[in-house]
């Protein structure tokens, strides 16, 4: 008796797994013959209607694959591509700090998109056009306005200020080996203090008890006091556009953003994000269409409030809230791509050695 | 005679081929990776500390965790083996739950207890009117240690407790009679006789702590990485495959060493000489020190072993903050929303599919895994049995996957099978295979004693009465093996449901398994993602607990599994 | 020397030892006889201090031992399962008690050597005890109990785990060893043959009390009641109601349900009694076994009573024979 009962139980578990939960088709209400796989990072978002329009026009189902942090997503793509697997036809979200890793591994096919003509030359870092610039944004230190007011403390105005005892234990940063804003901020310090001085600067930050998080989500939503997580650090490495998100998504309507960025010269790093057609795709034509879509005015104008970045297309109009709450640093830190390519891994190793004792 | 040799070979062929292709080949690939030129840029910046630091930390935390686990587990084993108290049976069931929980669920449970949005911080914040969480327990070594103790104490209680309750009570009595004080009798007789089981429990706990992945990844933060986490980091974040490969080899060598030691310590040393025919009776605590001991132990066990799971389930039904972008709709209090959300496909969601699909995926993988692992296991145990005197040499071949870490397996799969015709680039097809490899040693351990328990005569009688070999299998073997097969199926099923290491490499990002989805949700901002992670964890916990309760019900004669 | 007074002990709610008392003199060997489950082992454990009685006391030379823990009593106890330490070899098992007494290692070596010699196991010192045969284990256990020179030796069914042949051989050896030790001994067994062969005095344990104590001869000749007679296997126990005629015997109580007659097999006489007594029986031979010199024959009377008698010659199965007991040979017992 019990035996039969058990058998039935086991079978029913199987049935439950196999049958009752039929796969819901993704958001589409219309049949599509083709599927386009787009791999991107977790921060990606798009207005559903916009994506649906693209799908309808091209009779395609776009499968958005979020594969973790920008760096993790890219590595996954390289790893699977090298192994011969094709998880994606288009990849969106390589930033300039990791661009060389993508190019070295030759995982993209070059595509001369018509829209490139209009884009500012400063964004076109890849002359081979294997990867195309889509958006940019600045990684800056954000601060919690209320915290500094409450504590009667002046907001630090430069990178150097952060090493002062006044700001001890107030800063949260991301590990550059696991987080792309973390890597971007590290680049800013290298650009500012030079290859000789930047490690000393980090040593001073360490002595000043900074907090290191694995990823941006943790740093921003767990450590940062200005986010919904209400953490304990009023300073965090994030984006210049993060205050916009705080402004828009605040639980009660606000007159101004509760947070802001320190946009001193050299204190921010300009991140440019690229997209590319994955080598060996069987959907080359569709992939090209999708890249064009990414560079279209519709998508470029959708970007700011979805991913909180700036469009590269000059004709795209910025939303009002964005203009109101976002700051653009006048002089972001820069390093040339060749230097980054040559030294990135070494710098990360040096950083890990100093900061985490690896 | 010749025919039977062929039969044996045939039996061996399938499981061996499976292991060669899916276990040994990825291992070799990892070896080759370390020396390959394709990724040789990884060596340029190689420093020995890349290996020694994670290894050192792994050994350090595993040793510390093991010691702490023993400190709690040994008295707890004594408590359950000797004392009768109200709610004893119930508590015993409760404390076995942690062991069967998937690592991500453990991490989620600790998050709900100690995390910034956990009960402890919520309580303190409302109590002292604080605006930010006062206790920061996550991302610390103590969180890792606590979770490891939570996870593994039941191993000590089970393994040591069962030897203690079966220990012949006349032995310490004889020592006392010969002039040894109770403490001396414990030290000279009880302890040495328990030593083999303490030793194998220690090694087992050490092995689990050593290869810990999910717990360290989710509770440890950037300062702490074990070998397993570092393999994942080097491969997925740093894209430094040679170093990841080298770490895998180090990891494999250590786990193999510990596994071999476990096998050795499992050999019964004193045989039945130290065992009583029946387990010794329980007594009610009488003296004041006994009463104090029982009360303290029960309290500590409840606090450590039960509160995390209770807090996970309760927290999944309460909301305290609004979801992102929901202005003014702040409903604090009881809610079923997180469970309802699992069925919805939200525009801003992480996966662009209803989260419940993760449950469907996991169920499918688990279903395939349980059939695959049990079928392979059945063939393997017949092969082992048929090979007679060779079986001591062949058995370890099947047990070896126990020593390989899931992350190593995932990495190896990624390298080997990407381009294979078999998978056509769909890694998720490999998930049940990886899960089967993880489950196979346990399945074999479950089936082998049951098969060995079937009297050979029985089969001979059946055959002599005219039953064909297949008929004899159906009429004789199957009914006797039935319970063991059901247990194996369930084992494989629950292992697959909870597996995280290999799945984190292999699962298609758009088609996550439950543990992968929980991991991703937990790392995302917002009350909704958090709530969904907890709701999923609670569901997964319920399934695993149900599975293990059924396994307990059909407890098999013979060896304790694990 | 040893006085055990009014020991009460419950087991699973029911009284196991129910106010039990006895004394033991210097150098005396007593056998505690009782059926299995009668609480013999528990009594030994209470005397050894390994278990506590609910009430009652154990005295040694008039001193109450309630405050003396087991390890300070100096009583040797040999367990029924021998309880040899499986993680120690033969030598270390025997030396255990001596080491607890902190003897110098040289003395220990000498004493253990003597013990090993006395059990003829000199070459076994380094052997693991798990590799010993049943008889060897028994001897090692005895040597271990004796080595620390206990002031009292208690043996719990020391031959119980051995097969018949070995038991007989070892009974002799054991008797010698116990006599030579000049120690007071409590020997627990359920086998009265073994007890008769060893003891100065027998104590019969039944229903939680000592129902009778005395020398083997006393017990044999005058069992206190029917249960004792039955337990010792003294002969046929015939209920008063079952007798052929209920004529009263002078000086004997009236036959009733309360009384039982003990008719010993070897007192049975063949033929028909001329006297007018109730102990005349007639029955079919069920069985006849040669016992050496005499035969043990089983009869069944028409009333269904089974009688065991000794006959000088072989009886044929199914044969009808008559037997009787003389009045002076029978014993009337309380049931």
Distance from CA of B329 to the nearest CA of A (A): 8
Residues C182, C37 share a domain: yes
Residues C134, C19 share a domain: yes
Asked whether the predicted pLDDT for residue A8 surpasses 70, the reply is no
Region B194-205 average pLDDT: 89
Residue B9 resides in a domain: no
Using CB atoms, which residue from A6, A178, A252 is nearest to B554?
A: A6
Inter-chain CB proximity B178 and C84 less than 8 Å = no
Inter-chain CB proximity B425 and A86 less than 8 Å = yes
Residue C51 resides in a domain: yes
Distance from CA of A71 to the nearest CA of B (A): 6
CATH of the domain at B502: 1.10.3720.10
Confirm or reject contact between B179 and chain C (CB < 8 A).
yes
Higher pLDDT, B351 or A253: A253
Collect all residues with Cβ–Cβ distance below 8 Å to C252 and sequence separation of at least 6: C332
Region B81-103 average pLDDT: 87
Domain boundary at C180, C199, C226, which?
C226
Inter-chain CB proximity A67 and B330 less than 8 Å = no
Residue C231 resides in a domain: no
Indicate the average pLDDT of chain A: 85
pLDDT band at C113 (very low <50, low <70, confident <90, very high): very high
In this prediction, residue B555 carries a pLDDT of 59
Q: Tell me the percentage of chain C whose pLDDT exceeds 90.
A: 31
In this structure, of A130-144, A332-346, B40-54, C5-19, the range with the lowest mean pLDDT score is B40-54
| Cβ atoms B516, B506 nearer than 8 A | no
Encode pLDDT of C1-26 as tens digits: 899 999 999 887 788 898 899 999 88
pLDDT band at C243 (very low <50, low <70, confident <90, very high): low
In this prediction, residue B345 carries a pLDDT of 64
Residues C222, C297 share a domain: no
Confirm or reject contact between B299 and chain A (CB < 8 A).
no
What tokens does B403 get?
């020593």
- Chain C interface test: which of B179, B281, B284, B287 (most C C-beta within 10 Å): B179
Inter-chain CB proximity B173 and C45 less than 8 Å = yes
| Cβ atoms B527, B321 nearer than 8 A | yes
Using CB atoms, which residue from B132, B347, B367 is nearest to A17?
A: B367
Residues C144, C33 share a domain: yes
Residues B508, B415 share a domain: yes
Region B460-468 average pLDDT: 76
The stretches of B178-326 forming alpha helices (DSSP H) are: 182-185, 191-210, 214-219, 227-232, 241-266, 288-301, 307-315
Of C223, C203, C155, the residue nearest C22 (C-alpha): C203
Using CB atoms, which residue from B53, B238, B356 is nearest to A21?
A: B356
Inter-chain CB proximity B509 and A39 less than 8 Å = yes
Asked whether the predicted pLDDT for residue A29 surpasses 60, the reply is no
Euclidean distance between CA atoms B185 and B188, whole angstroms: 5
| Cβ atoms A325, A304 nearer than 8 A | no
Residues B350, B290 share a domain: no
Residues C259, C114 share a domain: no
- Residue indicated by tokens 């083997």: C216
Residue C107 resides in a domain: yes
Distance from CA of B364 to the nearest CA of A (A): 5
C137 to chain B: nearest residue by CA? B273
ipTM of the complex: 0.84
Residues C326, C254 share a domain: yes
Residue C237 resides in a domain: no
Inter-chain CB proximity A228 and B45 less than 8 Å = no
Encode pLDDT of B148-185 as tens digits: 999 899 889 988 988 888 888 889 999 999 999 989 99
B351 to chain A: nearest residue by CA? A66
In this prediction, residue B71 carries a pLDDT of 96
Encode pLDDT of A290-299 as tens digits: 999 999 999 9
Region C123-150 average pLDDT: 91
Residues C138, C102 share a domain: yes
Residues B364, B289 share a domain: no
Residues C212, C137 share a domain: yes
Helix, strand, or coil (residue B326): coil
Collect all residues with Cβ–Cβ distance below 8 Å to A17 and sequence separation of at least 6: B360, B362, B363, B364, B366, B367
pLDDT band at B464 (very low <50, low <70, confident <90, very high): confident
Neighboring chain B residues of C101 at a CB cutoff of 8 Å: 179
Residues C134, C61 share a domain: yes
CA trace torsion C145, C148, C152, C154 (10° rounding): -10
The residues of chain A that CATH labels 3.40.190.10 are: 31-136+271-318, 138-270+327-355
Distance from CA of B133 to the nearest CA of A (A): 7
B169 to chain C: nearest residue by CA? C83
B45 to chain A: nearest residue by CA? A346
Indicate the average pLDDT of chain C: 86
Using CB atoms, which residue from B168, B176, B270 is nearest to C87?
A: B270
Asked whether the predicted pLDDT for residue A22 surpasses 50, the reply is no
Indicate the average pLDDT of chain B: 81
Distance from CA of B269 to the nearest CA of C (A): 9
Of A213, A207, A223, A200, the residue nearest A167 (C-alpha): A207
Residue C232 resides in a domain: no
Contact between chain A and chain B (3 or more Cβ pairs less than 8 Å apart): yes
Residue B432 resides in a domain: yes
Contact between chain A and chain C (3 or more Cβ pairs less than 8 Å apart): no
Using CB atoms, which residue from B510, B550, B553 is nearest to A65?
A: B510
Distance from CA of A324 to the nearest CA of B (A): 18
In this prediction, residue C63 carries a pLDDT of 92
**Domain A31-136+271-318 in this protein, CATH class:** alpha beta
- Look at the alpha carbons of B347, B348, B349, B353 in this order and tell me if their dihedral is positive or negative: positive
Residues B309, B213 share a domain: yes
Asked whether the predicted pLDDT for residue C253 surpasses 70, the reply is no
Domain boundary at C191, C226, C261, which?
C226
Euclidean distance between CA atoms B436 and B496, whole angstroms: 8
Domain boundary at B315, B346, B363, which?
B315
Asked whether the predicted pLDDT for residue A14 surpasses 80, the reply is no
In this prediction, residue B473 carries a pLDDT of 77
In this prediction, residue B416 carries a pLDDT of 78
In this prediction, residue B454 carries a pLDDT of 77
- Domain extent for B195: 60-315
Inter-chain CB proximity A349 and B133 less than 8 Å = no
Region B104-131 average pLDDT: 84
Strands (DSSP E) contained in chain C are 2-11, 14-24, 29-33, 55-60, 63-64, 75-78, 152-156, 185-189, 201-206, 209-214, 236-239, 259-263, 269-270, 280-290, 295-300, 306-311, 320-324, 331-334
Asked whether the predicted pLDDT for residue C245 surpasses 70, the reply is no
Asked whether the predicted pLDDT for residue A20 surpasses 50, the reply is no
What tokens does C185 get?
């001994």
Using CB atoms, which residue from B117, B359, B526 is nearest to A21?
A: B359
Residues C249, C206 share a domain: no
Residues B280, B353 share a domain: no
Asked whether the predicted pLDDT for residue B393 surpasses 80, the reply is no
Asked whether the predicted pLDDT for residue B277 surpasses 80, the reply is no
Distance from CA of A338 to the nearest CA of B (A): 16
Superfamily for domain range A138-270+327-355: Periplasmic binding protein-like II (3.40.190.10)
Asked whether the predicted pLDDT for residue B283 surpasses 90, the reply is no
What tokens does B164 get?
């203690």
- The DSSP symbol for A249 reads H
Distance from CA of B88 to the nearest CA of A (A): 26
Residues B344, B311 share a domain: no
Neighboring chain B residues of A178 at a CB cutoff of 8 Å: 222, 233, 237
CATH of the domain at C258: 2.40.50.140
Inter-chain CB proximity B177 and C75 less than 8 Å = yes
What tokens does A112 get?
């001369």
What tokens does B213 get?
């992945």
Neighboring chain A residues of B111 at a CB cutoff of 8 Å: none
Using CB atoms, which residue from B168, B179, B273 is nearest to C130?
A: B273
Range with top average pLDDT, A57-61, B37-41, B550-554, C278-282: A57-61
Confirm or reject contact between B38 and chain C (CB < 8 A).
no
Residues B305, B367 share a domain: no
Contact between chain C and chain B (3 or more Cβ pairs less than 8 Å apart): yes
Residue B116 resides in a domain: yes
Encode pLDDT of C59-71 as tens digits: 999 899 988 999 9
- Domain extent for C216: 2-226
Number of structural domains in chain C: 2
Euclidean distance between CA atoms A67 and B511, whole angstroms: 11
Beta bridge partners of C295: C290, C311
Region A198-227 average pLDDT: 90
Number of structural domains in chain B: 2
Using CB atoms, which residue from B136, B324, B414 is nearest to A249?
A: B324
| Cβ atoms B283, B83 nearer than 8 A | yes
Inter-chain CB proximity C71 and B273 less than 8 Å = no
In this prediction, residue C193 carries a pLDDT of 82
Region B400-413 average pLDDT: 77
Which chains does chain A touch, 3 or more C-beta pairs < 8 A? B
Residue C218 resides in a domain: yes
CATH of the domain at C25: 3.40.50.300
In this prediction, residue C291 carries a pLDDT of 80
Distance from CA of B109 to the nearest CA of A (A): 17
Neighboring chain C residues of B175 at a CB cutoff of 8 Å: 85, 96, 100
Residue B366 resides in a domain: yes
Which chains does chain B touch, 3 or more C-beta pairs < 8 A? A, C
Of A177, A172, A159, the residue nearest A352 (C-alpha): A177
Residues B382, B268 share a domain: no
Residues B241, B140 share a domain: yes
| Cα–Cα distance list, B377 to B558, B560, C232 (Å) | 18, 17, 60
In this structure, of A123-137, B79-93, B343-357, the range with the lowest mean pLDDT score is B343-357
pLDDT band at A184 (very low <50, low <70, confident <90, very high): very high
Neighboring chain B residues of C145 at a CB cutoff of 8 Å: 178
In this prediction, residue A163 carries a pLDDT of 93
Asked whether the predicted pLDDT for residue A19 surpasses 50, the reply is no
Inter-chain CB proximity A227 and B489 less than 8 Å = no
Using CB atoms, which residue from A17, A75, A253 is nearest to B237?
A: A75
pLDDT band at B558 (very low <50, low <70, confident <90, very high): very low
In this structure, of B85-89, B233-237, B285-289, B461-465, the range with the lowest mean pLDDT score is B461-465
Encode pLDDT of B492-539 as tens digits: 888 898 898 888 877 766 678 889 888 888 877 777 788 888 898 998
Region B77-99 average pLDDT: 88
Residues C250, C199 share a domain: no
Residue B469 resides in a domain: yes
Encode pLDDT of A62-114 as tens digits: 888 887 788 888 988 887 777 666 778 999 999 999 898 889 888 999 999 99
Using CB atoms, which residue from A66, A229, A358 is nearest to B53?
A: A358
Euclidean distance between CA atoms A72 and B236, whole angstroms: 6
């Amino acid at each position: 008796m019990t035996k039969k009962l058990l058998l039935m139980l086991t079978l029913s578990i199987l049935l439950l797994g196999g049958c009752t939960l039929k796969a819901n088709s993704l958001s589409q209400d219309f049949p599509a013959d083709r599927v386009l796989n787009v791999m991107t990072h977790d921060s990606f978002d798009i207005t559903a209607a916009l994506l649906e329009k693209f799908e309808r026009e091209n009779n395609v189902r776009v499968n958005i694959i979020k594969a973790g942090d920008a760096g993790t997503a890219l590595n996954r793509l390289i790893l699977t591509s090298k192994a011969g697997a094709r998880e994606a036809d288009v990849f969106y979200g390589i930033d300039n700090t990791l661009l060389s890793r993508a190019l070295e591994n030759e995982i993209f096919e070059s595509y001369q998109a018509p829209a490139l003509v209009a884009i500012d030359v400063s964004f076109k870092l890849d002359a081979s056009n294997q990867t195309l610039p889509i958006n940019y944004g600045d990684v800056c230190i954000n601060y919690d306005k209320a915290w500094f007011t409450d504590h009667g403390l002046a907001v630090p105005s430069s990178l150097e200020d952060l090493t002062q005892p006044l700001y001890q234990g107030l800063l949260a940063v991301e590990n550059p080996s696991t987080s792309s804003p973390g890597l971007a901020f590290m680049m800013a310090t290298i650009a500012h203090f030079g290859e000789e001085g930047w490690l000393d600067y980090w040593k001073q930050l360490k002595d000043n008890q900074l907090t290191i998080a694995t990823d941006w989500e943790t740093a921003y939503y767990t450590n940062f006091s200005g986010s919904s997580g209400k953490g304990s650090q009023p300073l965090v490495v994030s984006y210049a556009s993060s205050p916009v998100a705080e402004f828009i998504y605040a639980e009660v309507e606000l007159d101004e953003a509760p947070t802001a960025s320190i946009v001193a010269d050299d204190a921010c790093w300009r991140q440019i994000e690229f997209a590319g057609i994955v080598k060996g795709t069987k959907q080359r034509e569709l992939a090209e269409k999708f890249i064009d879509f990414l560079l279209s005015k519709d998508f470029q104008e959708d970007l700011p409030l979805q991913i909180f970045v700036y469009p590269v297309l000059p004709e795209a109009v910025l939303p009002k809230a964005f203009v109101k709450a976002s700051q653009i640093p006048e002089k972001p830190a820069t390093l040339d791509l060749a230097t980054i390519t040559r030294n990135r891994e070494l710098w990360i190793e040096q950083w890990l050695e100093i900061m985490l004792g690896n | 005679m010749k025919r039977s040799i062929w039969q044996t070979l045939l039996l061996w062929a399938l499981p061996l081929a499976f292991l060669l292709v899916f276990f040994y080949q990825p291992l070799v690939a990892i070896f080759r990776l370390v020396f390959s030129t394709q990724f040789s840029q990884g060596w340029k910046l190689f420093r020995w500390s890349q290996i020694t630091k994670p290894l050192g930390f792994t050994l350090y935390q595993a040793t510390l965790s093991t010691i702490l686990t023993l400190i709690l587990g040994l008295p707890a084993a004594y408590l359950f083996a000797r004392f009768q108290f109200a709610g004893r049976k119930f508590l015993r069931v409760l404390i076995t739950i942690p062991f069967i929980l998937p690592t991500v669920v453990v991490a989620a449970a600790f998050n709900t207890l100690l995390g910034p949005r956990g009960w402890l911080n919520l309580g303190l914040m409302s109590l002292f009117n604080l605006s930010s969480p006062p206790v920061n327990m996550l991302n610390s070594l103590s969180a890792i240690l606590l979770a490891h103790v939570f996870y593994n104490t039941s191993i000590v209680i089970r393994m040591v407790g069962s030897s203690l309750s079966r220990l012949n009570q006349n032995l310490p009595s004889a020592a006392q009679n010969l002039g040894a004080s109770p403490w001396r009798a414990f030290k000279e007789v009880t302890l040495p006789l328990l030593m083999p089981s303490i030793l194998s429990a220690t090694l087992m706990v050490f092995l689990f702590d050593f290869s810990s992945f999910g717990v360290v990844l989710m509770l440890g933060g950037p300062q702490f990485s074990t070998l397993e986490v570092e393999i994942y980091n080097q491969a997925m974040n740093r894209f430094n495959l040679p170093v990841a490969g080298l770490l895998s080899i180090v990891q494999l060598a250590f786990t193999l060493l510990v596994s071999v030691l476990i096998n050795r310590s499992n050999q019964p040393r004193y045989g039945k000489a130290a065992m009583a025919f029946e387990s010794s009776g329980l007594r009610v605590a009488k003296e004041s020190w006994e009463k104090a001991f029982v009360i303290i132990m029960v309290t500590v066990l409840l606090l450590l072993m039960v509160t995390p799971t209770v807090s996970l389930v309760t927290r999944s039904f309460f909301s305290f903050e609004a979801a992102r972008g929901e202005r003014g709709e702040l409903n604090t209090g009881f809610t079923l929303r997180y469970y309802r959300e699992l069925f919805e496909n939200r525009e801003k969601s992480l996966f662009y599919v209803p989260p419940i699909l993760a449950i469907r995926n996991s169920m499918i993988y688990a279903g395939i895994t349980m059939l695959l692992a049990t079928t392979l296991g059945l063939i393997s145990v017949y092969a082992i049995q048929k090979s007679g005197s060779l079986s001591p040499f062949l058995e370890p071949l099947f047990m070896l996957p126990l020593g390989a870490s899931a992350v190593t397996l995932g990495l190896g799969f990624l390298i080997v099978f990407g381009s294979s015709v078999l998978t056509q680039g769909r890694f998720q097809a490999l998930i049940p295979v990886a899960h089967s490899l993880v489950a196979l040693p346990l399945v074999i351990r479950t089936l082998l004693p049951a098969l060995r328990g079937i009297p050979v005569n029985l089969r001979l009688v059946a055959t002599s009465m005219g039953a064909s070999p297949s008929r004899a299998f159906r009429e004789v073997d199957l009914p006797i093996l039935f319970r063991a097969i059901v247990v194996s199926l369930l084992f494989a099923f629950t292992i697959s449901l909870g597996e995280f290491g290999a799945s984190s490499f292999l699962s298609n990002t758009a088609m996550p398994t439950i543990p992968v989805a929980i991991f991703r949700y937990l790392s995302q901002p917002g009350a909704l993602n958090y709530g969904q992670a907890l709701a999923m964890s609670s569901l997964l916990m319920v399934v695993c607990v149900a599975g293990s309760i059924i396994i307990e019900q059909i407890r098999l004669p013979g060896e304790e599994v694990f | 020397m040893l006085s055990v007074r009014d020991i009460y002990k419950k087991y699973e709610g029911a009284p196991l030892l129910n106010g039990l008392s006895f004394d033991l003199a210097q150098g005396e060997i007593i056998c505690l006889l009782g059926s299995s489950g009668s609480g013999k082992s528990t009594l030994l454990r209470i005397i050894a201090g390994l278990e506590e009685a609910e009430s009652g006391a154990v005295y040694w030379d008039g001193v109450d031992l309630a405050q003396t823990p087991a390890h300070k009593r100096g009583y040797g106890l040999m367990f029924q399962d021998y309880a040899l330490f499986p993680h120690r070899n033969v030598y270390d098992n025997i030396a255990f008690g001596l080491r607890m007494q902190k003897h110098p290692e040289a003395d220990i070596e000498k004493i253990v050597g003597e013990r090993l010699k006395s059990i003829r196991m000199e070459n076994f010192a380094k052997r693991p005890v798990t590799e010993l045969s049943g008889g060897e284990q028994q001897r090692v256990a005895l040597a271990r109990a004796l080595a620390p020179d206990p002031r009292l030796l208690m043996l719990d069914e020391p031959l119980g785990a051995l097969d018949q042949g070995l038991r007989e051989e070892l009974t002799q050896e054991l008797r010698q060893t116990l006599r030579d030790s000049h120690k007071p001994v409590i020997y627990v067994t359920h086998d009265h043959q073994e007890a008769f062969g060893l003891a100065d005095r027998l104590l019969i344990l039944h229903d939680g009390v000592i129902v009778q104590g005395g020398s083997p001869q006393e017990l044999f000749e005058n069992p206190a009641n029917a249960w004792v007679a039955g337990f010792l296997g003294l002969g046929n126990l015939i209920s008063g109601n079952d007798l052929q005629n209920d004529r009263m015997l002078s000086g004997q109580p009236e036959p009733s349900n309360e009384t039982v007659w003990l008719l010993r097999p070897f007192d049975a006489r063949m033929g028909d009694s001329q006297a007018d007594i109730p102990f005349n029986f007639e029955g079919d031979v069920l069985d006849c076994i040669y016992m050496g010199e005499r035969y043990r024959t089983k009869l069944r009377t028409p009333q269904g009573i089974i009688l065991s008698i000794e006959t000088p010659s072989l009886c044929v199965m199914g044969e009808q024979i008559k037997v009787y007991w003389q009045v002076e040979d029978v014993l009337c017992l309380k049931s």
